[in-house]
Structure 1
Amino acid sequence: MQRFEAALFDMDGTLVDSTGAVEAVWTEVASVHGLDVGEILAVAHGMRASDTIRRFLPAHQVDDAVSALEAQEIATAEGTLPIPGALAYVAGLRERGVPVAVVTSASRPLAEARLRAVGLPEPDVLVTAGDVLHGKPAPDGYLLAAERLGVDPRGCCVFEDAEAGVHAGLSSGATVIVVGGWDSPATLGLRRIRDYEELLLDPASDPLAP
């Protein structure tokens, strides 16, 4: 079994459950701009808000739309819940001295608000939307996280729940574990966990076990 040097986590859908808030604010965006919310949600998960909005709105409307979206998301961050077992699992990693990074398509203020809402302390490294030139599915975020942790990305274990993030993790050279039910050709052959309680109940199955 491969021994990993660090754990790199996506945030939304992987560490925190923000589905309700995310869908509500995108529904508002669609309503304001006369867009189809179904089309937006089909591509928004795991992507930076700015990258998603650019697909649907003219360039001169993007900045204002992104600012309004982020303000609404931060205002509803208190409704965020942890993915089952996430708090205990991450705490266990840090107790064992395993470096932990969060690599998210959210802005830094939103990421900090959601992590704070569920009681997750800021990780050793937090890479957010503004830290990279290219968001997921590009590997930039995971490569930057590995660099800041001082580890080889090929020795990292990436936890992801969405198509864009799976591609980003794989392209970085890391080993990707799928959290939850996302299924696509990109996930074929990848290890999958329902949530972190699965790893807590069976420590021998933990990919980052000592």
Structure 2
Amino acid sequence: MTFDAAAPALDDSLTVFDVDAVLFDLDGTLIDSTVATERAWTLWGEKMGIAGYRHTAHGMTALTLVNELVDAPRRAEALELITRLEIEDTDGIRQKEGTADLLAAIPSKQWTIVTSCTRELARARMAAAGLDWPEHMVTADQVTTGKPSPEGFLLAAKRLGADIRRCLVVEDAPAGLSAGRSANAQTLGVTGTYGARQLEADAVVASLGQLTVSRRPGAALVIEIRDR
């Protein structure tokens, strides 16, 4: 692995990742769905009789949250309800700044998405944001344990034929970054859902628009981060 979290800075405003593939989170990273997500979970809390529920656990699967918040006899009902509410509410979902240009700069076989959404929810949100479905997409219903488990990122790297140590995980939430670190990937945090101090990563940016991509011989990707 050529990346060293301390060493690659060429100057105070530039950091470099040398990788073979990029594994993106979806919500809060490539698309902005925070308002829609929080609306759906607020309504869910009301319907489930959970007084004053406020959704703050971004980056975790609905199944994980339901199991934490609801007694066993009502979990199936609760999961069915939040699944329906989230799929139905896509108002205001959009691509985040820099998403289109960044994805266009990376060959399609060298990136994919690992999301805590189910396949059906991911399709609804990506359609609302005008984002195409990538090859080798990993959704919550394809893994046994969701983030912060590394399972999804390890599966994505395997599908891409990449060494996870040569992959860059791009995430907006602590749970996702923890999953990336546990998988032994390189990590990049994107602020917005959480502040920079809450994101433990090799580097943190405010926008995907700060990233530029070039190629080395042998198809390696060089991803540079510049201050703006």
- TM-score w.r.t. the length of structure 2 is 0.81
Alignment: residue pair count: 201
| Pair 1:66-2:82 in alignment | no
Give the percent of matched residue pairs that are identical in Structure 1 and Structure 2.
36
Higher strand content, 1 or 2: 2
Q: 1:82 aligns with which of 82, 95, 98?
A: 95
Gaps in structure 2 of 5+ consecutive residues: 1-7, 9-16, 215-220
Q: 1:85 to 1:189 in 2, by over 3 A?
A: closer
The separation in 1 between residues aligned to 2:196 and 2:72, in whole angstroms, is 31
Q: 1:185 to 1:197 in 2, by over 3 A?
A: closer
The DSSP-based 3-state class of the residue aligned with 2:40 is helix
Gaps in structure 1 of 5+ consecutive residues: none
CA drift at 1:186: 7.0
| Pair 1:37-2:56 in alignment | no
Q: 1:91 aligns with which of 89, 104, 127?
A: 104
The DSSP-based 3-state class of the residue aligned with 1:192 is strand
2:164 counterpart letter in structure 1: P
Q: Which residue of 1 aligns with 2:65?
A: 52
Task: Give the greater-gyration-radius structure (CA).
Answer: 2
The separation in 2 between residues aligned to 1:189 and 1:140, in whole angstroms, is 18
The DSSP-based 3-state class of the residue aligned with 1:208 is strand
Q: 1:18 aligns with which of 33, 47, 56?
A: 33
Q: 1:133 to 1:119 in 2, by over 3 A?
A: same
**Displacement over 2 Å in runs of 4+:** 181-190, 206-209
CA drift at 1:33: 2.0
- Structure-to-structure mapping, 1:147-166, within 5 angstroms: 147-166=158-177
The separation in 1 between residues aligned to 2:168 and 2:121, in whole angstroms, is 24
Segment of structure 1 superposing worse, 182-191 or 150-159: 182-191
The separation in 2 between residues aligned to 1:148 and 1:64, in whole angstroms, is 33
- Structure-to-structure mapping, 1:130-141, within 5 angstroms: 130-141=141-152
The separation in 1 between residues aligned to 2:121 and 2:24, in whole angstroms, is 16
